[in-house]
Amino acid sequence: MAVLIDPPSWPAHGTVFSHLVSTSSLQELHGFAAAAGIPLRAFDEDHYDVPARRYSDLVDRGAQPVSGAGLVRALIASGLRVPARRRPAKLRAALSSRWSALLPTDPSLGQELMDRWAEAQRKYHTPSHLLAVLEALDQLLDTSDTAHRQSILLAAWFHDAVYQGVAGADEQASAALARGRLRPHLPEAAVEEIERLILLTRAHDPVPGDRAGELLCDADLAVLGGSDQEYERYRTAVRLEYAHIPDEAFRQGRSRVLEQLLALDPLFRTRRARDRWTGAARLNLMAELRSLGAAPAS
């Protein structure tokens, strides 16, 4: 276990920056950064950007100096490096290809949605999350879902297309956006179904037998069943999105969200999602709840 730092050589904002990474876990990295007074906003997916003036101090605090190439090799070996397909350029290309296959008649709408998902205020509800939801649907959809496949996928594209961090209102605005943008392309019944699906992501609690709703909600929650490192990256991104909320208020609000998720029975509605993600998701949620100082309900 070690925290590594490379030489200051990355120019930005009138100075040069080093990268700070962990060889073992994002928790170790965040703990080191917090102890050194490095703000969470300096975190960028798998590393912290730190200005040159902090280099010597961070080495004194225990960060091991390595070359830039050595840092990248260590980050890859640790399994913590965000893969290239999750980086902005690759992400946009992947999403653009998916949109072209989904609604080829309106490429400009796809570009608009990708721009929305890439807005600066977003830290979790980003193109990476959108692609993750679409990839989760790849795992969950089967041949029996052909009739509502397009509606589910379009609902996924729109479900957080409007995002200001206001639960409920964001989903309502996203559903309204979908209605306005999709009416020229789809029958009214299909547009209404997409609106309905988007609104289900407010509580992730579709009624039993609502196959389309179950698929979308399960895909949206698939991140909960990720590996330790994936879940820690998710936790960090959520905190960054709510960086304007003081720590104690965030702790209380986040605890309530976790308790609500743990109270969902079942958490995942489709058999494939339950088999893939339930065990890890409940462990992740309970561990985060404990870390916030709250005891998971038995």
Is 185 within 8 Å of 165 (Cβ atoms)? no
CA distances from 52 to 28, 57, 114, 142, 260 (A): 22, 10, 34, 52, 43
The per-residue pLDDT for range 165-187, each reduced to its tens digit, is: 888 899 999 999 999 999 999 99
- pLDDT at position 295: 61
Q: Tell me the whole-structure pTM to 2 decimals.
A: 0.83
Question: Region 183-204: what's the mean pLDDT?
Answer: 97
Arithmetic mean of pLDDT over the chain: 93
pLDDT tens for each residue of 72-106: 999 989 888 887 777 777 899 999 999 999 999 99
Domain 84-298, what fold?
A: Hypothetical protein af1432 (1.10.3210)
Among 72-76, 212-216, 264-268, name the most confident range.
212-216
Q: Give residue-wise pLDDT tens across range 1-19.
A: 799 999 999 898 889 999 9
| pLDDT confidence of residue 194 | 98
For the chain, the domains span 3-81, 84-298
Which pLDDT value is given to residue 297?
Answer: 58
**What was the pLDDT predicted at 294?**
66
The values of phi and psi at residue 204, to 5°, are 50, 45
